[in-house]
Structures are given as structure tokens and as C-alpha cells.
Amino acid sequence: MLPSHDIEYLNAKAPGHQVTTEGGVICVLVPSYPLPKGFDRGASDLLIRLAPGYPDVPPDMWWFDPPVCRTDGVVIPATEAREGHLGRQWQRWSRHFTAGQWRSGIDSLQSYFALIRNELLKAAPGGS
């Protein structure tokens, strides 16, 4: 189960979200997650998969369906793989924390969503 502060966060900031489990993994699906400018669509469904042990175990990667690409055609690193989850094909954004980056007891879905937003801004044309 998700910690109560994660549930509160999702209820406040991720309208229409769905939390399910698949093979022991908690799946958080945010429909029509709004994307920053510079991508080929304004929104896409966002999937986060939380391994058993979360929140002590950090999240790893995230997924979009439909796939998210830059408007200028430049390929975003480590986003070309496709994976099946929840009966759909997803674009995998392969992203990993190094040891110690995720602070158990402090980090949460709130910080992970903030990080995803930040990474999307960096991946967009003109992002740093």
C-alpha cells in the first residue's frame, strides 16, 4: 500500500489517477499528464511502477503512452524501448538513481513527480 502522504499527494495533484497492482508492483497511472512545451503532444498517460519495499526502495524509471517525442525530432536518450504493462504498450523512460540519491523516509511521490517534471523540462528543446 502507498503511504498516506502519497495518497494525499495523488488526490491533490493527480486528478483521475489510478492505483493498481501488477505482479506485486504498485502501478500509479496518471491519465493525460500535462507535458511542457517542446513535445509532440500536450499530454500523455504517465505510469510509475513502485517495487515491493517502496518507499524504502526508490522508484525506478517511468513510462508514457502514447510515446512522447521532441517536436524537433531529436531523440531523447533512453526512451526508445517499449514495454507492456497493464495491457498496454508503454514508452519506457529508463532513468535510475545512484545509491543514496533517494532518501528513504523523506522522498515520496511528491519528490518523484517533481523530479519527472524537471527531467521533462531538461529533455525539451532548449532545456538544460
Partner 1 sequence: MTEHDEAGAPTKREKELKAFRERQMRELREFEQRQKQELEEFERQELEELKEFEERQHPYEIKIDRTEFKVTEHFLTGAQLRALPNPPIGPERDLFEVVPGGSDEKIADTQKVKMRDGLRFFTAPAQINPGLL
The residues binding partner 1 (CB under 8 A) are 5, 12-13, 61, 77-78, 80-81, 94-98, 101-102, 106-108, 110-112, 114-115, 117-119
- Taking the complex as a whole, the smallest distance from the CB of residue 98 to partner 1 amounts, in Å, to 6
* Residue placing its CB nearer to partner 1 in the complex, 21 or 33: 33
Show Cβ contacts of residue 17 under 8 Å, excluding neighbours closer than 6 positions.
10, 28, 29, 30, 31
Q: How far is the CB of 20 from partner 1 (least distance, A)?
A: 24
Q: Give the residue with the Cβ less far from partner 1, 29 or 120.
A: 120
Distance CA(31)–CA(103), nearest Å, equals: 27
Neighbours of 112 (CB within 10 A): 22
Please tell me the distance from the alpha carbon of residue 12 to that of residue 63, in angstroms, as a whole number: 21
Amino acid at 105: G
Q: Which is nearer to partner 1, 16 or 21 (CB)?
A: 16
